[in-house]
Structure 1
């Protein structure tokens, strides 16, 4: 449903992590990694919800 938003979070997090790594800023790296994980969790939740809705229709 909203997987585009979840993927966008993952990509944004990867960019932050890379920038933090390039600048040697560990706090930016960690923030980027957290954002990636949140995006992945959101994506997994959305997929699970879609499966439950599909299953409930049967």
Structure 2
């Protein structure tokens, strides 16, 4: 996407994904368990609302 407009990316950091902000203390390549609230966000995201 950036190359298409002549820009070169030399570094990239993901700070959030799907509305979940990553903790700054999480090391590169690290992981953590999702909280119950975060799991609920993911499981409800694919469900359609009644009448829509």
Answer yes or no: same fold by TM over 0.5: no
Structure of higher CA gyration radius: 2
Question: Which structure shows the higher helix fraction?
Answer: 1
TM-score (norm 2): 0.29
The structure, 1 or 2, with the larger RCO (C-alpha pairs under 8 Å, 6+ apart) is 1
